[in-house]
Homo-oligomer: A and B are copies of this chain.
Amino acid sequence: MSDFQLNERLAADTFFVTDLALCSVLLMNDARYPWLILVPRVGDMTEIHHLSSEQQHLLMEESAKAGQLLESLFKPTSINVAALGNVVSQLHVHHIARFSSDPAWPGPVWGHSSAVPYTKTEIATVLSVLQPGFAE
């Protein structure tokens, strides 16, 4: 996992949550959606199918963990899981808790409208439930 450096835009738009075996877990700074981004710490990676078989299986396990956490903590209507990479090519997988009452529903969140940043109190609260969840 040498030569990995987190893309600057991903770093600027998110808060760090935790490091799992393969992925760094980030929280998108948009208070409207509980939105985790998993970034495999593998240099110059752009597509899931370019990962080794072992890395693919780890990604699936860590992705499922993210989905389970979002579901248990936020009780969403559905969870959007997506690796797009059209704007930021570094491989990253979105996990977004969606609600039938959210601003973009039922459309995709990407490009819908500008993010609403968390307040300091809000982000402390969200991280205080997410971080122990990943540690379990």
Contacts and interface: CB of A to CB of B under 8 A. Distances in A.
Contacts of A82: 80-84
A44 to B, nearest CB: 14
Interface in A11-53: 46-49, 53
Nearest to A63: B48
Each complex incorporates copies of this chain amounting to 2
B108 A78 contact: no
Contact of A78 (B61, B67, B85): B85
Contact of A80 (B57, B71, B84): B84
A110 B107 contact: yes
Contact of A56 (B64, B83, B84, B107): B64
Interface of A: 46-49, 53, 56-57, 59-61, 63-65, 67-68, 71, 77-87, 89, 98, 105-108, 110-111
